Amino acid sequence: MLVIDGISAYYGGVRALDKISLVQEEGEILALIGGNGAGKTTLLNLISGIVKPTHGTIMFKGEDIVSFSPEKIVELGIIQVPEGRHLFGPLTVQENLEIGAYRRRRRQNKKKISDDFEHILQLFPVLGKRLKQRAETLSGGEQQMLAIGRGLMGRPLLLLLDEPSLGLAPLVMQEIISIIGRLRQEGTTILLVEQNARAALKIADRGYVLEAGKMRLQGSATDLLENVELKKAYLGNRS
Amino acid sequence: MEFSQQIAQYIITGLTIGAIYAIVAMGFNIIHNATGIVNFAQCEFISLGGMFMYSLAVLFKVNLIIAFFISMAGVALIGALIEMGPIRHARSKEIIILIFLTIGLSEILRGTAQVVWGTDNVGVPAFSGETPIHLPGGAAIVPQHIWIFAITVMVMLMLRYFFKKTLMGKAMRATAVNRRAAALAGISVNRMVLFSFAFSGALGAVAGMIIAPISSTSYDTGIMLGLKGFAAAILGGYGNFAGAILGGIILGLLESLGAGLISSQYKDAIAFFVLLLVLFLKPRGIMGYGESERV
Ligand SMILES: Nc1ncnc2c1ncn2[C@@H]1O[C@H](COP(=O)(O)OP(=O)(O)O)[C@@H](O)[C@H]1O
Ligand SMILES: [Mg+2]
């Protein structure tokens, strides 16, 4: 479904990613792991068309999308839930969700969109109680749920999640993780970026480890969870 | 005339001019929210609205209603062209440079208008006659005042509906709040900015057209009206839609009462003095800034 080949990216002369390659099959959950500044967000922004690479190709369903605009990429069904949520703060919870469905404004009927709306309120019941509230008044955990809900309203074929657990209390984080598990059962293809490597690998099929802009390791989630190097660097000593 | 009657008359005039300021302020706000810039070409949108109306209705004897909509569409198109050309392709995206660009564009538009129409003040017929209607208190109101109120209220209701109820309007607000997130939702930021210029063009034109029968119009009537509208926007809270209405009405009333009760020589000074005073006490305007929080 997604084939990234030899991609490099720079921020004004400083290299952020160096010849990265990555393959994702349909229905798969990939975990992309790496410390702060490793280049994880940059990779997602390359896929979303917000950052443009100097080298390499990004094929989605057989089409090179490197030259596409961000909105065209969203049209194709690649939807990113950005790091730090980036909600439309002064707009209501409901408006945020409606805008999530913006890419479907022409193709799909209202019924399907309102069905998805109901479905998202089932996934995140707390949002249902806050529909008329401004998004900026929600708690951190609720905002993350809204960000994910907004992404889902676009009916992603490929969902890019950038550190959904960042800054959340452990309990809320568990909730988010379990929802990612449910999305997987529904067949959504997910590229999950996490600093919390253990939690990410537990729900992922395979994982990639990024370090200072280079791809260090890749393998099945179970192998990576057992990997000695990785244990030291990202998983802590608890096993 | 009795004193109370006079006051009533000043209030009617003040509300009328305030309604115009409110529409102009709305035009400033829409572009500001979409782009972060102050579009000084807004002033020219007002003049062009008046002059288009004059050309169509007076020179070419086009039906007033048709002339109204053609002028509105024409100025909206000019707004769109300004965005698609110079604004979008400016090498620098610095706010301050883009603002200067709008000042330059404003000069070009005004210069062109001067070549086309000359410098004379011209009249535009009132939308439905000039016979004053006498109100119970003794004050009189000409039909054009009623047109101005009615059209202003309609414009405000339509804008409110658009921004609160339609997906496109919500997408424009979303873009104003966070461009990156809007792009990630599949919204074309360029298109939203284009719409904002077209809208502001249409709003400026409406303001210029509805005031023209009362105060006559020329190639540069928009300058003072535009600056007052800008002041109204700041007074209400730049970018804030409710603030634009409030700011416009307050400014209009102050000006009219100040001119009537103190001296018409000082009417602009009074308005700007109050503006400075309010900003001194409430730097973000009466209602605070609008929704936009550029990221
Ligand atoms: N907009 C930017 N401008 C300049 N440098 C950036 C920008 N975004 C990220 N970087 C740099 O690129 C590198 C990778 O960053 P990022 O992709 O955000 O990493 P991660 O998401 O893994 O924490 C870091 O060194 C970071 O400082
Ligand atoms: Mg990151």
Residue nearest to atom 16 of ligand 1 (CA): A39
**CA–centroid distance, residue A66 to ligand 1 (Å):** 19
In the prediction, which pLDDT does A101 show?
Answer: 95
Query: Rounded mean pLDDT of B106-135?
Result: 93
Where do we find the tokens 């062209």? B81
Is B167–A102 a contact, with Cβ atoms under 8 angstroms apart?
yes
Q: How far is B288 from chain A (nearest CA, A)?
A: 13
Residue nearest to atom 18 of ligand 1 (CA): A41
Q: Which domain holds residue A94?
A: 2-234
- pLDDT tens digits, residue range A50-73? 999 999 999 999 999 999 999 999
Query: Rounded mean pLDDT of B237-252?
Result: 93
Instruction: Report whether pLDDT(B294) > 50.
Output: no
Complex prediction ipTM: 0.92
Most confident of A163-172, B171-180, B275-284: B171-180
Residue nearest to atom 9 of ligand 1 (CA): A42
Choose the mutation target among B184, B192, B292, B293 for the interface with A, i.e. most A CBs under 10 Å. B184
Q: Does A110 touch chain B (CB under 8 A)?
A: no
Phi first, then psi: give them for residue A26, nearest 5 degrees: -65, 140
In the prediction, which pLDDT does B62 show?
Answer: 94
**CA–centroid distance, residue A19 to ligand 1 (Å):** 16
**Which of A36, A40, A41, when mutated, tests ligand 1's pocket best, judged by the most ligand atoms within 8 Å of its CB?**
A41
User: Is residue A239 assigned to a domain?
Assistant: no
User: Is residue A176 assigned to a domain?
Assistant: yes
Contacts with B287 from chain A: Cβ below 8 Å: none
Picking from A49, A50, A43, the residue whose alpha carbon sits closest to that of residue A18 is A43
Q: Residue B228: how many CA atoms within 13 Å on its side-chain side?
A: 29
Could you confirm whether domain B3-134+143-293 is CATH 1.10.3470?
A: yes
Query: Rounded mean pLDDT of B147-159?
Result: 96
In the prediction, which pLDDT does B136 show?
Answer: 82
**CA–centroid distance, residue B250 to ligand 2 (Å):** 48
Choose the mutation target among A44, A76, A85, A88 for the interface with B, i.e. most B CBs under 10 Å. A88
> How many Å apart are CA B183 and CA B194, to the nearest integer?
15
Q: Does A136 touch chain B (CB under 8 A)?
A: no
Is B183–A50 a contact, with Cβ atoms under 8 angstroms apart?
yes
- pLDDT tens digits, residue range B270-282? 777 878 888 888 8
> How many Å apart are CA A101 and CA A149, to the nearest integer?
10
Where do we find the tokens 């070549």? B115
Torsion of CA B68, B73, B78, B79, to 10 degrees: 100
Is A102–B185 a contact, with Cβ atoms under 8 angstroms apart?
yes
**CA–centroid distance, residue A172 to ligand 2 (Å):** 20
Picking from B133, B122, B134, B146, the residue whose alpha carbon sits closest to that of residue B16 is B146
> How many Å apart are CA A168 and CA A83, to the nearest integer?
13
User: Is residue A179 assigned to a domain?
Assistant: yes
A 47-66 residues with CB below 8 A of B?
Answer: 48, 50
Query: Rounded mean pLDDT of A118-127?
Result: 93
**CA–centroid distance, residue A37 to ligand 2 (Å):** 7
Q: How far is A231 from chain B (nearest CA, A)?
A: 34
Q: How far is B291 from chain A (nearest CA, A)?
A: 6
Q: What is the reported pTM?
A: 0.91
- Using CB atoms, pick whichever of B173, B178, B183 lies closest to residue A71: B183
- pLDDT tens digits, residue range A102-111? 999 887 678 8
Contacts with B178 from chain A: Cβ below 8 Å: 86-89
Phi first, then psi: give them for residue B92, nearest 5 degrees: -100, 140
Is residue B210 within 8 Å of residue B225, measured between CB atoms? no
Residue in chain B lying closest to A76 (CA): B186
Instruction: Report whether pLDDT(A179) > 70.
Output: yes
Mean pLDDT value across chain B:
92
Ligand nearest A36 Cα, by number?
1
Ligand nearest A40 Cα, by number?
1
Contacts with A82 from chain B: Cβ below 8 Å: 180-181, 184
Number of structural domains chain A divides into: 1
Structure tokens belonging to residue B119: 């410098």
In the prediction, which pLDDT does A108 show?
Answer: 67
Query: Rounded mean pLDDT of A185-201?
Result: 89
Is A154–B173 a contact, with Cβ atoms under 8 angstroms apart?
no
B 176-235 residues with CB below 8 A of A?
Answer: 177-178, 180-188
In the prediction, which pLDDT does B295 show?
Answer: 38
Structure tokens belonging to residue A46: 């390359």
- pLDDT tens digits, residue range A144-159? 999 999 999 999 999 9
Q: What is the CATH number of the domain that holds A107?
A: 3.40.50.300
Question: pLDDT exceeding 90 applies to what percent of chain B?
Answer: 74
| A238 confidence band (pLDDT: 50, 70, 90) | very low
| A94 confidence band (pLDDT: 50, 70, 90) | very high
Is residue A82 within 8 Å of residue A191, measured between CB atoms? no
> What Cα–Cα distance (Å) separates residue B83 from each residue in A228, B25, B93, B105, B239?
57, 19, 13, 11, 19
Residue in chain A lying closest to B181 (CA): A86
User: Is residue A127 assigned to a domain?
Assistant: yes
Helix (H) / strand (E) element for B31: namely: helix B3-35
